[in-house]
């Protein structure tokens, strides 16, 4: 991954391949943002005017190159758009800084070193610039072979100017940005890995390796242990595949922790739909159906690396959903780990079947809260689009808190209800529940189904990240094509809130 350093050097004196400055939109044209004053002076105060001639306006997503002025040790200046500047005295929006830095990193792929002279007036701004730069430089290259024509290598090093390398607050900001970026990129790598390489057993092996590296406790239940334990939901989904399912428990504990957070991740390493087969056009990206499990895994590792004073337990419900002679059939009834029976009427509504077992098991440890994360329903993508995840739950306070945390972390999210009138549609004439209900409001129905498996007295939230987990369009900001790392920032911030004693 791109290296990160802080520097108090001037933009003119730093040795780099490029100096990055910010540009905002103004009433009379673009304006050089804070952090770029020294660069502007080197152009005799005419940097904004020059960039305007080249077509720059300061709008978000823009990247404009021009030769560096005489006396600079970098040969290139790259101006990136920040959009509207904040009102006088107001802080820069962290997300605007992250996105601009991400644009710069993508534009500078192939360069060895770039100096970021973006607004960095405090540690929070430094963290935002650093995180955006590190996320924007991401590239998934593991599947390239000898036939690849060779794309450019990611930016080698990002130097954040204005950072104070010896200041504890700034150092902590840089460390947090590094950990978040590395764990989001771990999530992206897992989501982008082809399903013939990432399957339940290999995913579990990766978790075991990381657990050893970071001092985590890990337990893996294979198909025999799942059968012995009565995990009928996970086993039912996985029985059509030649690659058996797994339930992985990975835990970080702190000696001074007063709160325990349980995170449950849907880990369908490939979802064909099973016997209820997905049509062409809907299964090509289904390697991403384990995004929730990847986010949970990365969050537990991040909590350990940051030394948070909270206990965080991750439950990864891993299975492949495949059609075969041994596959789950519409009409089958499964006995879940909770003891409740479920009539399966659609095998493509499989995520809730693996999650319900994991949620029940997580509840046995009496955590202060359970949060499940899943690419669960296409209905929620229809409702909220491709960049917003939904938040549901049995506790309005927890749901609101997660919404606030997500927005502050730069992740678009929206609280959604669990209407009681939709619950009746889950009743089955032959079992305790059906795995599907009314078609309209299907994302809410899925949340209602999961709520049935949360133990009384435990606050629970459900994040449906089906929209933002996998980006099929062109890269933008710090968001690449493919896996995005959705929900990791929110979950880490939630763990930090719990460590501070302010969870619920």
Catalytic positions, please? 278, 352
DSSP 367-418: -SEEEEEE---HHHHHHH-SS-EEEEES-HHHHHHHHHHHHHHT--EEE---
Work out whether strand 18-26 and strand 113-117 pair parallel, antiparallel, or are unpaired: parallel
3-class SS at 161? strand
Q: Is 372 annotated as a binding residue?
A: no
SS3 assignment for 192-224: HCCCCCCCHHHHHHHHHHHHHHHCCEEEEECHH
Q: Which two tokens stand for residue 28?
A: 């009379």
3-class SS at 158? strand
Q: What angle, 0 to 180 degrees and rounded to 10, lies between the N-to-C axes of helices 168-192 and 488-499? A: 140
Return left, alpha or beta for 448; rule: phi > 0 is left, psi -120 to 50 is alpha, else beta.
alpha
CB-count burial class (<10 Å; 0-12, 13-18, 19+) for 26:
middle
Give, as one character, the DSSP assignment of residue 20.
Answer: E
CA distance 181 to 373: 19
Which of 225, 178, 503 has the alpha carbon at shortest distance from 369?
503
Q: Which two tokens stand for residue 417?
A: 């209800």
Residues 6+ apart with CB under 8 A from 202: none
Q: Is 350 annotated as a binding residue?
A: yes
| Main-chain dihedrals φ then ψ at residue 180, nearest 5 degrees | -60, -45
Which of 215, 371, 213, 194 has the alpha carbon at shortest distance from 286?
194
Residues forming the annotated binding site for Mn(2+)? 266, 271, 289, 348, 350
Residues forming the annotated binding site? 266, 271, 289, 348, 350
């Amino acid at each position: 991954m791109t290296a990160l350093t802080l520097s108090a050097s001037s933009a003119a004196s730093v040795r780099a391949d490029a100096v990055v400055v910010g540009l905002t939109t103004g009433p009379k044209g673009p304006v050089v943002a804070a952090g770029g004053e020294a660069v502007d002076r080197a152009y005799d105060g005419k940097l904004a005017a020059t960039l305007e001639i080249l077509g720059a306006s300061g709008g978000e997503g823009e990247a404009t190159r021009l030769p560096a002025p005489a006396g600079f040790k970098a040969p290139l200046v790259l101006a990136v758009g920040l959009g509207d500047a904040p009102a006088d005295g107001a802080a820069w929006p962290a997300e605007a800084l992250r996105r601009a830095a991400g644009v710069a990193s993508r534009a500078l792929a192939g360069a060895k070193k770039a100096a970021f002279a973006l607004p960095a007036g405090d540690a929070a701004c430094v963290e935002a610039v650093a995180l955006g730069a590190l996320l924007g430089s991401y590239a998934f290259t593991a599947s390239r072979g000898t036939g690849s024509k060779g794309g450019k290598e990611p930016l080698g090093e990002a130097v954040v100017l204005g950072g104070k390398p010896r200041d504890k607050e700034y150092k902590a900001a840089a460390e947090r940005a590094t950990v978040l970026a590395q764990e989001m990129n771990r999530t992206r790598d897992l989501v982008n890995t082809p399903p013939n390489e990432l399957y339940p057993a290999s995913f579990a092996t990766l978790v075991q390796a990381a657990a050893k590296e970071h001092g985590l406790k890990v337990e893996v239940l294979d198909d025999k242990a799942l059968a012995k334990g009565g995990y009928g939901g996970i086993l039912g989904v996985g029985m059509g595949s030649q690659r058996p399912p797994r339930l992985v428990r990975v835990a970080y504990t702190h000696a001074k922790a007063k709160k325990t957070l349980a995170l449950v991740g849907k880990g369908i390493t490939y979802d064909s739909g099973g016997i209820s087969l997905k049509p062409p056009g809907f299964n090509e990206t289904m390697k991403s159906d384990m995004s929730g499990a990847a986010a949970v895994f990365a969050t537990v590792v991040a909590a350990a690396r940051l030394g948070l004073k909270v206990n965080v337990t991750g439950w990864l419900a891993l299975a492949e959903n495949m059609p075969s002679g041994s596959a789950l059939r519409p009409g089958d009834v499964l006995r879940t780990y909770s003891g409740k029976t479920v009539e399966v009427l659609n095998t493509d509504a499989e995520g809730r079947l693996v999650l319900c077992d994991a949620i029940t098991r997580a509840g046995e440890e009496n955590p202060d809260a359970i949060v499940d994360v899943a690419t669960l329903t296409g209905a929620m993508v229809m409702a909220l689009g491709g960049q917003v995840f939904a938040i549901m739950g049995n506790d309005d306070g927890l749901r609101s808190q997660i919404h606030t945390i997500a927005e502050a972390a730069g992740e678009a999210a929206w609280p959604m209800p669990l209407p009681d009138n939709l619950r009746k549609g889950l009743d089955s004439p032959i079992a305790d529940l059906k795995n599907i209900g009314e078609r309209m409001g299907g994302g809410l129905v899925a949340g209602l189904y999961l709520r049935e498996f949360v133990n009384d007295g435990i606050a629970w939230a459900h994040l449906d990240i089906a929209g933002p987990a996998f980006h099929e369009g062109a890269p933008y900001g710090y968001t690449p094509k493919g896996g995005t790392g959705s929900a990791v920032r929110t979950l880490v911030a939630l763990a930090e809130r719990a460590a501070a004693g302010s969870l619920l």
